[in-house]
Amino acid sequence: MGFSPDFLDEIRNRLPVSDVVGRKVRLVRKGREHLGLCPFHNEKTPSFTVNDDKGFYHCFGCGAHGDVINFVLETEGLSFPETIERLAGQAGLQMPEYTPEDSQRNKVRKTLYDVMEAVAHWFESQLVSAIGNEGRSYLQKRGLSKETIKKFRIGYSPDERTALKSAMLARSEITEEMLIDTGMLIKPEDGSESYDRFRGRVMFPITDRQGRVVAFGGRALKENAKAKYLNSPETPLFHKGRLLYNLSGARKAAFEKGRLLVTEGYMDVIALAQAGFEEAVAPLGTAVTEDQVREMWRLAPEPFMCFDGDKAGQRAAIRVVERSLSLLKPGYSLRFVYLPDGEDPDSFVNGHGRKAFEKLLEEGMPLASVLWSDLIGHAQYDTPEKRAGLEQKISQVLSEIKDSKIRGYYESEYGKRLKKLFGGEFVPEINLHERVDSKLNKKNQPSEWWSKERNANNYKRGNTEKSIGELHKTEIGKSRGSSRKGRERLIILTVLEHPWLLERHEELFATFEFESVELDKVRNEIIRIASRDSNLEKKDLRHQLIENGLGQVIEIIFRQGVWTAQSVTGPESSKEETEEKWKHCIELFQLERLEKEIASYGSKDLNEEEYARLQALKEEHSASLTKLTTAMEH
């Protein structure tokens, strides 16, 4: 059985050497390396080193040297296929089934690398030719030197439908099928002629870990272009969620400086490199993935995530935090650098210089602080219930951390922060019993006030019944005839249709008491999602809920036909009307809760404390009913 070089490389890339070696050798971290006693010869003084960044182990005593595959071969007594099978399982990879056809495909892949190299070279030649004048002007305006352009192999794709296709097919070794397989040509489904994917764009080659060109990113020069930046599609060579732009170019500098800078775009990486920060990389047009976080950690234990200072940059940072929590391991985390509003790394380093950017890096925030700021940013904690809700929310988020030791440290640290946050700021209300006692003069003693109130019963039943009757005539009041679960669905459904409601009423939604366990679960998940994205769109919200296993419940909510969001808000309702009517729906449940609690007292003989509580409930019910009825009349 043969294994392709790419498959073996994927095993090496996914498994840190220290993880594999550490199962047999007790390793102690020393700077960027691990040190231990060599398993290949007897020694009392450690001379066996493991370097995850370089991907190998080395013994200075006996000269043993190799990678994860060599180590298992030498220490487990397994055959090569058995070794690969074991390591592939640890890396979460499917073992390939090799056939003559697989062998042929591997040869094709090798040929595709040659095709991409030829394409990159052709784009470079177009940039320096007369046809590339527009591209050169753009790069000059962006302040890039000739040396930087050459280093990053920046090119230009002419604004012609088949310029690349014609140039490549003039070579006998390149076929149209190869260009389609690499994503360089688009083949319409209607069977018409293929054409160039990139036209009229400045071209940025994307390389793999070994520095081979596998894809391109193109920056449009026309203002009316459909996409400002366009990336290659997924191909046999290119999986954008696993690579980072400038990964191979940043390795050496990242290792030497012990740090890695992660930006949002190609030009940020290039501008930083030109300013002396060669240890910069960027994701490829998508949110940072788990594979990319692992790749970052191979270069530095605590990469600096450099984000724009606007709200979009802050949301992007929180998404990275959310994606990284389950991956955290001892010694490995992230730091976050926020640039001034309106700035990105490119504009900042060009406008303020290297020293100013270094100062920004020094002020980078650890992941724990960014997460904490997000959790308490809009939280209220002036009541015991709100405090409990905040603690529960924090606990749920921290439960995503898989490493028990790290999770324990977070829980301990956040516990201290909560104690400090709550300490001395909350002034409790006077005790309800003390309020009653002040009117009764003395606790447990009858009084003239209590006797009169109890006998007269100031609860104006006639007026209340009239108000309830008026309430039943309203659109929302009619919903009292529907099942409670149907009306609870309405609360959820309105939020699904109008997520912006949570910007002002997250607490109201979070504290609503759902009798339905399923709907309560949906509510909790909505709150969790909304806490990480303050500008949530309804399509994104539904998509995330479905991805998190709540698709069936969401489908039932939308199918239920008794009450829909439109029946309450109306298709032409303004935001203000929608907001008010949704609040009224929730307040209606509050009224019903008060009615049930009042009814629970029945006609039994009440003591002073029970009577005081009943009177308070009646007053609250009357005030709430009047407020709700009046509001809906307007």
Q: What is the pLDDT of residues 234-269, one digit of tens each?
A: 998 998 888 999 998 998 888 788 899 999 889 999
Is residue 158 scored above 90 in pLDDT? Answer: yes
Check pLDDT > 90 for residue 569: no
What is the rounded average pLDDT of the residues 365-373?
A: 94
Could you tell me if 363 and 337 are in contact, meaning their C-beta atoms sit under 8 angstroms apart? yes
Does residue 358 sit within a domain?
Answer: yes
Name the burial class of residue 352, with classes exposed (0-12), middle (13-18) and buried (19+) by CB atoms within 10 angstroms of its CB. Answer: middle
How many percent of the chain have pLDDT more than 70? 82
Residue 106: predicted pLDDT: 56
pLDDT digits (tens, 9 = 90+) for 74-117: 887 677 887 888 898 888 887 776 555 655 555 566 689 999 99
Q: Do 599 and 625 have their domain in common?
A: yes
| Domain interval for residue 161 | 100-231
Residues 532-561: pLDDT tens digits?
Answer: 665 678 888 888 888 778 887 887 777 754
Q: Exposure string (b/e) for 493-521, b if CB count within 10 Å is 16 or more? A: bbbbbbbebbeebbbebbebebeeebbee
Q: Are residues 391 and 319 in the same domain?
A: no
Q: How confident is the model at residue 311 (pLDDT cuts 50, 70, 90)?
A: confident
How is residue 221 written in tokens? Answer: 């020069």
577 is a domain residue: yes
Q: Are residues 117 and 54 in the same domain?
A: no
Q: Which is more confidently placed, 1 or 426?
A: 1
Q: What is the pLDDT of residue 495?
A: 86
Instruction: Indicate the range of 164-168, 321-325, 511-515 predicted with least confidence.
Output: 511-515
pLDDT recorded at residue 355: 94
pLDDT in the model for residue 110: 65
Q: Do 82 and 104 fall into the same domain?
A: no
Q: What's the total number of domains in the chain?
A: 5
For residue 515, what are the CA distances in angstroms to 22, 72, 392, 480?
Answer: 51, 56, 19, 16
Same domain, 125 and 253: no
Residue 338 tokens, joined = 């926020």
The mean predicted confidence, pLDDT, of the chain is 81
Return the percentage of the chain with pLDDT > 90, whole number: 36
Residue 238 lies in a domain: no
Please determine, for residue 35, whether its predicted confidence score (pLDDT) is greater than 80. Answer: yes
CATH number for position 54: 3.90.580.10
pLDDT tens for 270-289 read 999 999 999 999 998 778 99
Of 3-17, 170-184, 297-311, 450-464, the poorest mean pLDDT is in 450-464
Same domain, 394 and 361: no
How long is the chain?
Answer: 634
Helix axis angle for 290-299 and 5-14, nearest 10°, is: 80
Whether residue 190 sits in one domain with residue 63: no
24 lies in a domain?
yes
pLDDT of residue 350: 92
How distant, in Å, are the alpha carbons of 126, 245, 321, 362, 544 from that of 138? 14, 21, 35, 32, 39
- Give me the CATH number covering residue 349: 3.40.1360.10
Residue 320 lies in a domain: yes
Of the three residues 34, 67, 91, the one that is the final residue of a domain is: 91
Is the pLDDT score of 489 beyond 60? yes
Residue where a domain stops, chosen among 23, 56, 91: 91
466 pLDDT higher than 80: no
Residue 83 in domain: yes
Q: How confident is the model at residue 354 (pLDDT cuts 50, 70, 90)?
A: very high
Q: How does DSSP classify residue 620? A: H
